[in-house]
Amino acid sequence: MTKVISSNLGYPRIGEKREWKQALELYWNKSITEQELGVRTDKIRLNNIKKQQDKGIDLIPVGDFSFYDHVLDTSIMFGIVPSRFHYEGGKIDLDTYFAIARGNKDAVASKMTKWFNTNYHYIVPELKNVTPEITENLPLKYYKEAKSKLGVDGKPIFLGPLTFLKLSQGYEEEDLSDLIDTFTPLYITILQELEESGVSWVQVDEPIFGMNLSEYELELTHKVYQSIRQAVPSLKIIIQTYFESVTNYQSVCDLPVDGIGLDFVHGDTFSLLKKYGFPKGKVLAAGVVDGRNVWRANVEQKLSLLEEIVRYSDNTLIVQPSCSLLHVPVSKTLENEIDPIILDRLSFADERLEEIAILTKGLRTGRSSIRNEIIESNRSLHRVKESSYRENQNIKDEITSLSEADFTRTLPFSERIKEQRKQLGLPLLPTTTIGSLPQTQEVRQTRIKWRNGEISGQQYDQFIQQSIQKWISIQQDIGLDVFVHGEFERTDMVEYFGEKLKGFIVTKYGWVQSYGSRCVKPPLIVGDVSFKNPMTVKETIYAQSLTDKPVKGMLTGPITILNWSFVYEDVPRFTVLNQIALALRKEVEALEGHGINIIQVDEPALREGLPLDRDKQPAYLDAAVYAFRLATSSVKTETQIHTHMCYSDFKNIFNAIDNLDADVISIETSKSHGELIATFEENTYEKEIGLGVYDIHSPRIPSLSEVKQNINRALQIISPQQFWINPDCGLKTRKEAETVDALKLMVQAAEEIRESYIAFQQ
């Protein structure tokens, strides 16, 4: 008889109302002490564990909490601190920890990039010239805390050696074996201390197994886990994978550990299980409810799946989410403004835990024990299917009537750019920003007052216009060449459009961590998406009326809106993608019709949705390119289309970027310390490009020499006639003073290099 237990893989850090974010930012602003920060975050962390205990989860994760990022936590646990932060050994203090993530006045922050194919961002470990050592056993610390304060015998979790090293930088591929040998004793020490403290289960996260690993990498993996097995024979270790089917299924399942955690939501893991079976005597941890989406599980279907899965397990079956619940909001209990039909279908982190408990009970004691839950789940699903959200025949007809001409600009770039340069009259090395400008506390509070009915819509519009007017004047004084209106009316670059397009619903407290204290609130796509009314025209044309300089129209692109939304699970994603693109096409045409000659359609999430399995990537990239071109190809020759991307390894998607056929692309490079420039050294790119010249995610203001160095580095491989100068990303999260100071330096650097180049040419 197979034993069935419930488990969770990780819980959101942020708190129901983002109390974690508030505590961090108060500390960074020196409004509270480190001790007070500790008091506040201890409360959040212990409350998270208590919730899981109360909901009947058997294996509760500990060590999933972080002050910023769990990959950074792994780095500091092993003393991985870049030399520019002058670390001299021992336990790493909190200010050094935050400096690695955010930079300080003397040193730039470490690179930040996407966590696999999610909208979470991690701090990339820098291994160059670093000798790793254990500074603090963080999993043990959190295990002891949960046991002593709550009586919870938790399941410590931490990042596994192969994933940690593959996500790191500062070494050559041929050094991987030596690094495995260096880190293996450290991992063994961590695990031995856990074993000595009475820990029963440990979760070692290895999501890298969802990617296409080489035989060499798999050999190294077996080597390290064989060493671990010999060193801690009594400790129950689960290797946890997620986000995709395991591409080397048999090799991973044969690892010398007690259990393997598999994602049965994404990819086709069940087919692999049926084809190859599962090792006898080993624990199978089945991720059957979606840890990355918010739609209530079909309890009957999930139980049927588990009844099939349990046939392949002769030991213990663990019922759990597909991945950490870090990627969904905390609780739906605060959502009192959503249509009850939709609210009933939602399942955030707390509701996911309830689903896990229900499914565990059903598998343990039979279907009849959860009969009422199955009936209610089916009723909920039926109510949505029969609702008015589900069908829009007009938009379906519009999509089917599209032809190839709808995806192609009238002239190729080489001809368009001549007309655009004549129309815009910009100088060499034009300067601009990415889009958003600082959203101060006054901006946020005024929006809240308007939403709460404390001020009228007219008063709110007047405030937005005053903010636009103020920043048009500031941009004029700074000397930028292309302006933006600032996006003061927008809460978030996706949620804003979710509020304006048909087929979307927005939440009130549906926050999810994106990076550091930055949280986003993904909208819900509940049905067919269509255009209602112009969404950005009013603010953009008002800004343009205040200046003779061109003002960019600012839109979020179709693949980013899709990837940063929670899409109803029975709607084909690429169908929704094209519907979003068609709606954006109408907005682009509206902006152009009002005289806006530069329109930026941002796609920061282009690479984010890229499947981990290489074989599945071409179809995704083709769909993303298709949608972008649908949104942007109807404009006139002289209208310039821009796009922006960030936190991506562009090397493997370079052709897709080129195929977007955007006239100008801006890309984050300063936080990657210029590494992305190598992509353009290896590939010919004929369109115009802006490589971000300073990091906006750090409060530090760069020096003039730093900015000039970044510009000159890019100009070694990109023609000055192609090159735009801009920050890495939008400036929404920055303070006004630091924004102005940094932009002044950027413009000064551009002007000095421009003058030098012109003088050299003469």
564 is in an annotated binding site: yes
DSSP 79: T
DSSP 169: B
629 is in an annotated binding site: no
435 is in an annotated binding site: yes
CA 56 to CA 43: how far, in whole Å?
20
352 is in an annotated binding site: no
Q: How would you label 725-760 residue by residue, b for 16+ Cβ within 10 Å and e otherwise?
A: bbbbbbbbbbeeebbbebbbbbbbbbeebbeeeeee
Residues 6+ apart with CB under 8 A from 151: none
Instruction: Find, among 422, 465, 458, 421, the residue nearest to 443 by Cα.
Output: 465
Instruction: Find, among 259, 256, 252, 255, the residue nearest to 236 by Cα.
Output: 259
Strand partners, 202: 237
The residue to which tokens 């599980």 are assigned: 297
646 is in an annotated binding site: yes
The catalytic residue among 266, 327, 642, 697 is 697
487 is in an annotated binding site: yes
Q: Are 573 and 618 in contact (CB under 8 A)?
A: no
121 is in an annotated binding site: no
21 is in an annotated binding site: yes
DSSP 475: H
586 is in an annotated binding site: no
376 is in an annotated binding site: no
Q: Letter for the amino acid at 730? A: G
Instruction: Find, among 630, 558, 637, 634, the residue nearest to 597 by Cα.
Output: 637
609 backbone dihedrals φ, ψ, rounded to 5°: -85, 5
300 is in an annotated binding site: no
Instruction: Find, among 699, 635, 694, the residue nearest to 661 by Cα.
Output: 635
Q: How would you label 259-269 residue by residue, b for 16+ Cβ within 10 Å and e otherwise?
A: bbbbbbbbbeb
CA 59 to CA 240: how far, in whole Å?
14
Q: What share of the chain is helix, strand, coil (3-state, %, to 5)?
A: 45, 15, 40
738 is in an annotated binding site: no
102 backbone dihedrals φ, ψ, rounded to 5°: -120, -10
128 is in an annotated binding site: no
Q: How many Å from the N-terminal Cα to the C-terminal Cα in the chain? A: 85
CA 714 to CA 751: how far, in whole Å?
16
19 is in an annotated binding site: yes
CA 6 to CA 15: how far, in whole Å?
23
- Whether 594 is catalytic is no
DSSP 7: B
Handedness of CA 251, 255, 259, 262 (dihedral sign): negative
SS (H, E, C) 660-695: CCCCEEEECCCCCCCCCHHHHHHCCCCCEEEECCCC
The residue to which tokens 């993996």 are assigned: 221
Strands 236-240 and 259-263: parallel
Instruction: Find, among 333, 376, 367, 330, the residue nearest to 350 by Cα.
Output: 330
592 is in an annotated binding site: no
Strands 201-205 and 121-123: unpaired
638 is in an annotated binding site: no
Give helix 573-593 / helix 393-400 axis angle, nearest 10°.
Answer: 80
- In angstroms, the Cα distances linking 114 to 162, 278, 318, 430, 719 are 17, 32, 29, 29, 29
Q: Are 187 and 140 in contact (CB under 8 A)?
A: no
548 is in an annotated binding site: no
Q: Are 693 and 711 in contact (CB under 8 A)?
A: yes
Which residues are known binding-site members for L-homocysteine?
434-436, 487, 602
Which residues are known binding-site members for L-methionine?
434-436, 487, 602
Which residues are known binding-site members for Zn(2+)?
644, 646, 668, 729
Q: What amino acid positions are annotated as catalytic residues?
A: 697
Which residues are known binding-site members?
18-21, 114, 119, 434-436, 487, 518-519, 564, 602, 608, 644, 646, 668, 729
